[in-house]
Structure 1
Amino acid sequence: MLDEVDRGLVHALHVDGRAPFSRIADVLGVSTQTVARRYRRLRAHAGLRVVGLAERDRAGLSSWVVRLTTTPTASQAVAHSLARRADTSWVKLTSGGTEIFAVVQAPHDADASRSLLLHDIPRRGGITAVSAHLMLHTYLGGPTTWRGRLRALTPAQQERLAPPAVPPGGHAPPPADADRRLIEALGQDGRASYSVLAAATGWSQATVARRLTGLRASGALFFDVEIDTAVYGVTTQALLWMSIAPAHLEDVASALATHDELAVVAATTGPTNLLAQALCASPADLYHYLTCKLSALEQIGAIETAPVLRTVKAAGTLPGGRPPR
């Protein structure tokens, strides 16, 4: 479990993933050495990682929610195969280990389910069903994260850490092809030094700093924080697939986005049109959420609950991740 300094550090990285340790230390009232030591410990023992991610609309990408049903013996191999792809994120084993959930990034004009079927999937036996649904709108998730991580810092402390604000109404061009090498490097380590990023892009450190500042200021790039939710007392995760009449979808999704138990709320295509991820302290807490808090929203017509057994891949690229062939 995390202490006050650990929680403050993780919250600070959510405010600015590249904030210097010295600035975080000043806000937390501890030494720079303490912050650096805690960061290294959390990386080693809790999977802490900052990752830089492209804002999908500006990058010309669509997100597809993919569900694969497998035989129990095939699920691990298929999940790890998907996780190695550079275009996947949030690869999870669900429903007793016989279903795989993944989010696939694809160009706006591409069909993610067709892409997967034509590449990695046919090479694996044991696949019994595949479905893919376009993610239409995100109400919670992406640049906005689970509130369980955001309770350590006061508004004044957050203001001291906040990076320069995105200009209102700005419409900067999407990232250029040359920027993609920078974003890919940040997808593996969002706190990589300018020298490491220069080596990855072939640019000078000054050019890296200028382009990174421009991408952040335009909103084309944001930073996410990965960490094992177990250190926050989460033992039970579930994906919730809900059906809501279109006339009520906006109201229900907006209401769910305020629930502290949820880390993701997104509208999708398909037989269920609203997806959420619940993070709870125990199965009893999940039951209480489903039967008390969620059931109060009468507009929810049906719900499927898929327990998450394991997260194989989170938001960032795995080391050695490759693009689809």
Structure 2
Amino acid sequence: MEFPTLDRLDLQVLHALQLDGRAPFSRIATALGVSDQTVARRYRQLRTTANVRVLGMTHESLLGRQNWIVRLHCVPDVAEQLADALAKRPDTLYVSLMSGGTEVFCGMKPRSLKERDELLFDRLQRTPQIVTVTAHCLLHRFYGGPHGWLNKSNALTPDQEAALRLPTPVPLDAPVTLDTADEALLAVLRRDGRATLTELQRAIGQSEPAVKRRLEALRSTGVLYFDVQCDHAPLGHGVGAMLWLTVAPRALADAGRSLAAHPEVHFASATTGQANIVVATHHRSPDELYTYLSEKIGVLDGIQAVESALILRQIKQLTYEPNRTADRGT
């Protein structure tokens, strides 16, 4: 992948943070062969120029929870208002306005079946401006989550990756149960994945060693991972798209593995519903999207149907920032 508006060191810093969002600047600097001050300065610049944020995320399935995606078709002129309201909810992961301006797409992570039902069967169904609601449970993630798309940038050499990559988490046999201190810790990291130990201590009222132990326990089991949020325009990606693929069941696993290897793909998952794979992609232009559909999607075995829609505006990407709405123009 090439990113025309960022230089190689910018991309290396981003790739390093994707591998370990809490890596000290000194550790990143050693791997990259530059000074600590240089890494810190580049990180500060990226926060401004590309809206880079490092955020602590939870692997919901390891907590015994479900992830859902919801598509809402609305009457004209209310989609943006609805998207903004959904983006403010703590149980939504991402919210987008889709092509046509009357469809809202969102990912949600209800903490319980009660929360799921409240949103899907109560609030949304009773909103008169919503014409249709379709909800799909994510069954198996092929790409995304802990495997952030910046890993596909190839900005780091294999040796640099090895110096920064953490050991692979070992999930427990049973779902993890969080206590109130864990929840408080995760709430802080959800806002700022690089929050200091002092800030984390203040949030849970425990000693620094206790905070470190909790962090290590959450990360080593895979419950907590760190993702990097950034605007796509500085990376040269002017077009974002959602694809809904209908794939023959026999070909589902192979199609998912192939999609995960595509550099254009930053999320892919098997889902419930007639379209059984959902894919999020980014491209430089509509022509590149066309080429991707015809030359990569079209040759996958077992593909029976493809629906595509452009992302007009990203209202929420991992975290909601009221003054930020990233357009994905065509």
Q: With structure 1 as the length reference, what TM-score do the two structures score?
A: 0.91
Aligned positions of 1:11-90 closer than 5 A: 11-90=15-94
Q: CA deviation at 1:316?
A: 3.6
Alpha-carbon distance between aligned partners in 2 of 1:64 and 1:173, rounded to the nearest angstrom: 18
Q: CA deviation at 1:118?
A: 2.4
Q: 1:261 to 1:250 in 2, by over 3 A?
A: same
Q: 1:173 to 1:71 in 2, by over 3 A?
A: closer
Q: CA deviation at 1:277?
A: 0.9
Give the residue type in structure 1 aligned to 2:225: F
Alignment partner of 1:99 out of 100, 103, 124: 103
Alignment partner of 2:178 out of 158, 176, 179: 176
Q: Map Cα deviations across residues 111-165 of structure 1 (whole Å, 9 max, x no partner).
A: 736524424774x652211111111110011111225753111111111112344
Whether contact under 8 Å (1:256, 1:265) holds in the other structure is yes
Q: Map Cα deviations across residues 160-209 of structure 1 (whole Å, 9 max, x no partner).
A: 11234434x75476142221111121111100001111222232322211
Alpha-carbon distance between aligned partners in 1 of 2:199 and 2:128, rounded to the nearest angstrom: 40
- Of the structure 1 ranges 10-19 and 58-67, higher mean CA displacement relative to structure 2 is found in 58-67
Whether contact under 8 Å (2:271, 2:278) holds in the other structure is yes
The equivalent of 1:214 in structure 2 is 217
The equivalent of 1:286 in structure 2 is 289
Q: 1:99 to 1:219 in 2, by over 3 A?
A: same
Alpha-carbon distance between aligned partners in 2 of 1:173 and 1:33, rounded to the nearest angstrom: 41
Q: With structure 2 as the length reference, what TM-score do the two structures score?
A: 0.90
Alignment partner of 1:265 out of 265, 268, 280: 268
Give the residue type in structure 1 aligned to 2:212: A
- Of the structure 1 ranges 252-261 and 16-25, higher mean CA displacement relative to structure 2 is found in 252-261
The equivalent of 1:143 in structure 2 is 146
The equivalent of 1:323 in structure 2 is none
Whether contact under 8 Å (2:74, 2:102) holds in the other structure is yes
Q: Secondary structure at the match of 1:96?
A: coil
Q: CA deviation at 1:69?
A: 0.8
Q: Secondary structure at the match of 1:308?
A: strand
- Of the structure 1 ranges 172-181 and 217-226, higher mean CA displacement relative to structure 2 is found in 172-181
Q: 1:147 to 1:176 in 2, by over 3 A?
A: closer
Aligned pair count reads 317
Q: Secondary structure at the match of 2:15?
A: helix
Alpha-carbon distance between aligned partners in 2 of 1:34 and 1:54, rounded to the nearest angstrom: 30
Q: Secondary structure at the match of 1:12?
A: helix
Give the residue type in structure 1 aligned to 2:68: W
Whether contact under 8 Å (1:148, 1:232) holds in the other structure is no
Q: Percent sequence identity over matched residues?
A: 42
Q: Map Cα deviations across residues 29-77 of structure 1 (whole Å, 9 max, x no partner).
A: 2221111111111112211011111111121210011011112311111
Alignment partner of 1:249 out of 252, 270, 278: 252
Whether contact under 8 Å (1:187, 1:317) holds in the other structure is no
Q: CA deviation at 1:317?
A: 5.9
Whether contact under 8 Å (1:72, 1:98) holds in the other structure is yes
Whether contact under 8 Å (2:73, 2:102) holds in the other structure is yes
Q: Map Cα deviations across residues 198-231 of structure 1 (whole Å, 9 max, x no partner).
A: 2222323222111001111111111111111222
Whether contact under 8 Å (2:246, 2:276) holds in the other structure is yes
The equivalent of 1:133 in structure 2 is 136
Q: 1:310 to 1:149 in 2, by over 3 A?
A: farther
Alignment partner of 2:208 out of 194, 205, 209: 205
- Of the structure 1 ranges 131-140 and 199-208, higher mean CA displacement relative to structure 2 is found in 199-208
Q: Secondary structure at the match of 2:216?
A: helix
Q: Which runs of 5+ in 1 are unaligned?
A: 320-325
Alpha-carbon distance between aligned partners in 2 of 1:289 and 1:240, rounded to the nearest angstrom: 11
Whether contact under 8 Å (2:152, 2:263) holds in the other structure is no
RMSD: 2.0
Alpha-carbon distance between aligned partners in 1 of 2:168 and 2:277, rounded to the nearest angstrom: 30
Alpha-carbon distance between aligned partners in 2 of 1:165 and 1:257, rounded to the nearest angstrom: 18
